[in-house]
Amino acid sequence: MAHTCPVSALPGAPSGWRIATVREFVHRHYGDDGFDDAGWGCGYRSLQSILSAYPPYRDGAAPVPSIPEIQRMLARMGAKPERFAGSREWLGGAYEVSLVVEAATSAPVRLVHAGSGREVPALLPQVLAHFEAHGAPGMIGGGADVYSKTLLGVALPPRLPLTHEHIGEREAPAGPSAYLLLADPHFFRRIGESAEAARERALAGGWVGWKPVENLLAASFYNFALPLPPPPGADGVARGHTDAATEGARPNRAADPHSAARTAVSDAADFEIEVVESG
C-alpha cells in the first residue's frame, strides 16, 4: 500500500513555487525483489520505476521486468552484446531507458540533453511542462555524474514582480534557482525491514525529496528521459519482449498515465510513495 504525504512534507520542499510532480510512484531501488544489484543497478531501478507507471505493470497484470529480463531485451534488440545478459554491467543511460520503455509499453520517450549541470536550469521550464501534461516518472543520466536519478517533478520559482525589474538588469533570486524532486535508486532496504519502515526511512533520509538543481555537477553532461503516453490503440504490452512474465498480458485500465500528474502553485498537493515487497 502506498504512503501518502503532502508535497510540502517531502525533504527540501520549496514553498510557494510552481510545482509539477507525479502523484504517485513505486520506489524501485537496490535490492528489490531480493536481487542484489548494489553498486551497479541504479539505472535499471530508475527504469523499473518508470515502467511501474504504465500498464500492464501499473495494474498488476504483469510483473515489472527484472534486471535479467531487461538485459535480455537489450541484447535481443542488438543494443547490447549477448554477454550483457546475465552480467553486472551498468544499464547505460537515458538512451537505453528509452529503448526499453518504448519496447515494453509502446510509449515514446523524449530525450533532452544538457551539456553541463549549469545548462539544466534553462531546460527546466520544458521539463515542468512535461510533468504538467504527463504522469510517468523520468530518469536523469549523466557523464561524469554516474549516479542515475529517478525524476518525479520540478519546482520553479514564481516570476519576479515588475518592481524587481530594472533597466538592463534583473535582481537574481537568492538560493537555488530551481528544485528537482528525485528518488534515489541507491537506497537499499534492510533485511527484514517492513515496507512501511523502509518508506519512512527513505523519506527521513532524503532518499526521496527535493534537491537544488545546483547539486548537479557543472563538469558533467546530463540526459533526461521523459516518457510520453502510448499512441492511441497501443495496448502497453511489451513489443519483442517474450519472457513468460509478460507474454499474453493485457492492461485493464487506460494506458495513459496522464491522470497521475499533479500540478500545484503552493504546497497543497499530495504525493504517494510505495516500496515494493522484497522477495
pLDDT tens-place string over residues 61-115: 899 999 999 999 999 999 999 999 999 999 999 999 999 999 999 999 999 999 9
Which CATH entry fits the domain spanning 3-159+173-275: 3.90.70.130, 3.20.20.60, 2.170.190.11, 3.40.50.300? 3.90.70.130
Q: Given the residues 33, 186, 235, 243, select the one marked as catalytic.
A: 186
Is 3 an active-site residue?
A: no
Catalytic member of 42, 130, 134, 256: 42
Query: Above 80 in pLDDT, residue 9?
Result: no
Predicted pLDDT at 269: 53
Residue written as cell 553486472?
Answer: 88
C-alpha cell of residue 118:
549549469
Q: 1-10, 26-35, 145-154: which range is least confident on average?
A: 1-10
pLDDT of residue 165: 41
Residue 252: is its pLDDT beyond 60?
no
Is 256 labeled as catalytic in the residue annotation?
Answer: no
Could you say which of 32, 37, 184, 256 is catalytic?
184
Global pTM exceeds 0.85: no
Domain borders along the chain are: 3-159+173-275
| Catalytic-residue membership of 186 | yes
Give the chain's radius of gyration (CA, Å): 19
Four-residue CA torsion sign, 31, 224, 238, 231: positive
Confidence at residue 163, expressed as pLDDT on a 0 to 100 scale: 36
CA distance linking residue 78 with residue 110, whole number of Å: 21
